């Protein structure tokens, strides 16, 4: 989690603001005299539910950072330093500590690799039996952990690494004889990030020890759900081919690369996570899941379909019949399933005939077809119970299909499968789920529209020449507002700030649909228009909540003031909606 988000999450905005403003609780919210203008009647409100503040008198508002910046007259970076201790968030850059763990893991990987070379006869024999070449052993830096309980510990101590560092890195565990090496008598697979840094290890038993595979414990640099085995060696090929093949195991990846299939990575025996999908999404939108054909593999495949569908989306401008632009979340993923014949692993298929593997992955089936085929193979569709279960499985899948013609075709297919009319299916199709997944940009995450606008400015630099600084008034996220001010040239020095530059790099990494210059400008103004509408609509909703609270409390004076605010907001909304 980024430090800004961590601070925002850990602080209670009402508690922070109460240090500056005498707040009175009104229902679930708070009110007080605005500290930013001459306020004789309380018009300043704090909304703990969404961690926002707003003054209906001077129309100022924002998050906890924007309040402190405005009240203290300080820059964003200074607000971070001021609020971090209060939130219990350390501002010491984790890079130095993380760098130490990377160095620790690099040395451990080198130690294991050298031990395999010099003393790991059993492991080398196992690898030879699996037809793993010497070149692959070198490329993937495979290793072997000694059986002796303190071999790695002694080696790392000799290199001046501390016991605490080894514990933090997950290389030591508490055993029968005190602190012992975590991995002993196992084949070692160094797990690297996309930058080639060793983050942790996977280890396979070469005897009957259980569990067969163990991994490093979670550390500052190792989180299994955020990494993909082989990504460091596969990413160039993935970009070049425009496709990635995801398998389950270490050996599957090694054998694939050994035979020239260098676009293969592994989820390391688990279902794909949203973080892994996001990592892949930076390289390609074409994902092929080639998992084992056993029951676990099927479940992992279905879980992968759900995760990919929920995470590989982008905000796209959609012109309507009147030429207006609306925004929708649209899947940018082409997800396919490679069906492994029999009960074989990808490793076995590749070894037996690489051409078969190439054909399997090339002819991978669309994920929805796989869901239909799997359902038909596992359920007895001649029974009411089987058809009911099929409906329960497949209706949510069909509901997620955006394109109306494609969705209609799958409704027809489902109708034939379960012997229910299309009209009856459409009547129970979970439309609300579809609307939730494809709803316009207005969402619980208010920063989405702001970030989309900023991404437009970064991807289409000519737009910066447009006078759009008015959009700053509608930004509620202080960090995003800082980026906007910097991009519009009002204070370009802000871009040199580490937090802001990190945010900019994140925005640059977002994929946007290609647009002509005139289209980009139309989308820009539509975005600002939408941002203003969202801002006003949010104020209107807050005014209505406060009015109900005043009504319940019998505060007629407060009700009268809020009604006046409401009339003002209504007028502004009408003006926006007329454009």
Kindly indicate the confidence band of residue 455, based on its pLDDT and cuts at 50, 70 and 90: confident
Q: Which pLDDT does position 6 carry in this prediction? A: 80
Residue 283 has pLDDT above 80, yes or no: yes
Top pLDDT among 396 and 274 is at 396
Using an 8 Å Cβ cutoff, are 16 and 35 in contact? no
Q: Which pLDDT does position 561 carry in this prediction? A: 84
Candidate from 1-5, 129-133, 547-551 with smallest mean pLDDT: 1-5
Residue 578 has pLDDT above 80, yes or no: no
Average pLDDT over residues 271-286: 80
d(CA 112, CA 233): 20
Q: Which pLDDT does position 329 carry in this prediction? A: 43
**DSSP track, 212-256:** SEEEPPP-SS--GGG--BTHHHHHHHHHHHT-EEEES-HHHHHHH
Kindly indicate the confidence band of residue 428, based on its pLDDT and cuts at 50, 70 and 90: confident
Kindly indicate the confidence band of residue 323, based on its pLDDT and cuts at 50, 70 and 90: very low
d(CA 328, CA 321): 15
Using an 8 Å Cβ cutoff, are 242 and 159 in contact? no
Taking the domain 94-222, which CATH number applies? 3.90.980.10
Round the average pLDDT of the chain to a whole number and report it. Answer: 82
Nearest 10 degrees: Cα torsion 164, 165, 168, 169? -150
Q: Which pLDDT does position 202 carry in this prediction? A: 96
Q: Residue ranges of the domains in the chain? A: 3-87, 94-222, 224-368, 379-440, 451-578
d(CA 33, CA 100): 50
Q: Which pLDDT does position 97 carry in this prediction? A: 59
Residue 200 has pLDDT above 90, yes or no: yes
Total-model pTM = 0.59
Q: Give the architecture (CATH level 2) of 224-368.
A: 3-Layer(aba) Sandwich (3.40)
Using an 8 Å Cβ cutoff, are 308 and 287 in contact? yes
Domain 3-87: homologous superfamily in CATH: Zinc finger, CHC2-typedomain (3.90.580.10)
The pLDDT tens digits of the residues spanning 56-109 come to 888 888 899 999 999 998 888 888 889 988 888 777 655 555 788 999 999 999
Residue 370 has pLDDT above 90, yes or no: no
Residue 301 has pLDDT above 60, yes or no: no
Helix 231-241 / helix 250-258 crossing angle, nearest 10 deg: 50
Residue 146 has pLDDT above 90, yes or no: yes
> Would you call 72 helix, strand, or coil by DSSP?
helix
211 preceded by a cis bond (ω within 30 of 0) = yes
Average pLDDT over residues 421-448: 54
**DSSP H or E stretch at residue 202:** strand 198-205
């Amino acid at each position: 989690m980024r430090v800004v988000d961590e601070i925002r999450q850990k602080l209670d905005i009402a508690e922070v603001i109460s240090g500056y403003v005498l707040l009175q609780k009104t229902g679930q919210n708070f009110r007080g005299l605005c500290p930013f203008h001459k306020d004789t009647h309380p018009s300043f409100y704090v909304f703990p539910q969404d961690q926002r503040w707003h003054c209906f008198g001077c129309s100022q508002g924002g998050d906890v950072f924007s309040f402190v910046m405005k009240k203290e007259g300080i820059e964003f970076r200074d607000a971070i330093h001021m609020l971090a201790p209060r939130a219990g968030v350390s501002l010491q850059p984790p890079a130095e500590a993380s760098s130490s763990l990377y160095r620790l893991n690099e040395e451990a990987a080198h130690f294991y690799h050298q031990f395999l070379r010099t003393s790991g006869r059993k492991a080398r024999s196992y690898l030879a039996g699996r037809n793993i070449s010497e070149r692959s052993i070198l490329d993937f830096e495979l290793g072997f952990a000694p059986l002796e309980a303190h071999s790695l510990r002694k080696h790392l101590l000799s290199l001046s690494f501390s016991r605490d560092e080894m514990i933090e890195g997950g290389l030591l565990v508490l055993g029968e004889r005190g602190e012992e090496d975590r991995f002993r008598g196992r084949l070692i697979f160094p797990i690297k990030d996309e930058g080639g840094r060793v983050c942790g290890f996977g280890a396979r038993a070469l005897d009957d020890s259980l569990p067969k595979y163990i991994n490093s414990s979670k550390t500052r640099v190792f989180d299994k759900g955020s990494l993909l085995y082989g990504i460091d060696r596969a990413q160039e090929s993935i970009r070049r081919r425009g496709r990635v093949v995801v398998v389950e195991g270490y050996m599957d990846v090694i054998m694939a690369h050994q035979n020239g299939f260098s676009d293969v990575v592994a989820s390391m025996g688990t279902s794909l996570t949203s973080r892994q999908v996001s990592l892949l999404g930076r390289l390609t939108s074409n994902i092929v899941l080639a998992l084992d054909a056993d029951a676990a593999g099927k479940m992992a495949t279905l879980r992968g379909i759900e995760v990919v569908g929920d995470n590989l989306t982008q905000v796209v401008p959609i012109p309507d019949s009147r030429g207006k632009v609306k925004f929708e979340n649209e899947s940018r993923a082409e997800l396919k399933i490679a069906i492994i014949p029999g009960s074989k692993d990808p490793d076995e298929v590749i070894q037996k005939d690489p051409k078969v593997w190439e054909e399997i992955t090339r002819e991978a089936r669309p994920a929805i077809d796989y869901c239909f085929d799997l359902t038909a193979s596992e359920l007895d569709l001649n029974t009411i119970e089987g058809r009911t279960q099929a409906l329960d499985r497949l209706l949510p899948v069909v509901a997620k299909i955006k394109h109306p013609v494609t969705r209609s075709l799958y409704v027809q297919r489902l109708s034939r499968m379960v012997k229910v009319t299309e009209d009856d299916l459409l009547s129970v199709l979970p439309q609300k789920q579809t609307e939730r997944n494809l709803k316009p940009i207005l969402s619980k995450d208010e920063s989405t529209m702001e970030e989309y606008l900023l991404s437009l400015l970064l991807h289409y630099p000519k737009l910066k020449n447009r006078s759009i600084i008015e959009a700053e008034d509608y930004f509620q996220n202080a960090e995003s507002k800082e980026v906007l001010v910097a991009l519009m040239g009002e204070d370009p020095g802000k871009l040199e700030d580490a937090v802001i530059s990190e945010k900019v790099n994140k925005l640059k990494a977002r994929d946007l649909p290609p647009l002509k210059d005139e289209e980009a400008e139309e989308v820009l103004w539509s975005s600002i228009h939408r941002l203003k509408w969202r801002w006003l609509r949010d104020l209107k909703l807050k005014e209505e909540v406060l009015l109900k609270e005043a009504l319940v409390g019998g505060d007629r004076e407060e009700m009268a003031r809020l009604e006046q605010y409401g009339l003002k907001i209504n007028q502004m909304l009408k003006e926006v909606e007329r454009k």
